[in-house]
Amino acid sequence: MKYLFGYSYIELLISVSILAIIGVMVTPYMSSFISGNQLRLTEDAFSSMVKKSQSYAIANKNNAVWGVCLHGSDIRVYSGSCNAPVIKDDYVIPQSITVSGLSDFQFSKGRGELSSSEQIIMSSSLDSVTIDISPLGAIVLN
């Protein structure tokens, strides 16, 4: 019987087989963990971008209108307009996340208010979250 550093080839083969079986069993749990994590990261990024845009509007930064919109596969904070921004900050939405209900909304200068409430739904293959934004800019996660 051949030995490799004190272990036989059969022992090595059994060890590798056990590790492969464990890896196959863990894969579904890891993919659901990653999907859920991407949803939470996107939710957090969106909330931060809304707060950033609102604070810029309240501060009247660059004497511009500040808003948030969906631009392609990005969530965008912008000054000016969504399609032709003077200043922009984009967050790339992961491919496994779907965002619906996000229109182009802008905060009023100096007050940081919206003209109406907004409701955005973010979903992955396993979970979804609803984000409500009040006219005063309060964010409620459901």
Residue 131: per-residue pLDDT: 95
Strands (E), 7-127: 7-8, 66-71, 74-80, 85-92, 98-100, 105-107, 118-123
Would you place residue 124 in the very low, low, confident or very high pLDDT band (cuts 50, 70, 90)?
Answer: very high
Domain total of the chain:
1
In a domain, 3, yes or no: no
Take residue 65 and report the two structure tokens written for it. Answer: 């209108």
In a domain, 4, yes or no: no
- Nearest 5°: phi and psi at 132? -105, 135
What dihedral do alpha carbons 38, 122, 79, 85 form, nearest 10°? 80
Instruction: Name residues whose C-beta falls within 8 Å of residue 64's C-beta, 6 or more positions apart in sequence.
Output: 79, 80, 86, 87
In a domain, 2, yes or no: no
In a domain, 50, yes or no: yes
Residue 90: per-residue pLDDT: 95
What dihedral do alpha carbons 122, 132, 51, 64 form, nearest 10°? 100
For the segment 52-60, the average pLDDT, to the nearest whole number, is 95
Residue 3: per-residue pLDDT: 57
In a domain, 71, yes or no: yes
Indicate which CATH number applies to the domain containing 54. 3.55.40.10
In a domain, 45, yes or no: yes
Residue 125: per-residue pLDDT: 86
In a domain, 1, yes or no: no
In a domain, 26, yes or no: yes
Residue 118: per-residue pLDDT: 94
Residue 8: per-residue pLDDT: 80
Range of the domain at 73: 9-141
Whole-model pTM over 0.85: no
Per the CB < 8 A criterion, the answer to whether 134 and 113 are in contact is no
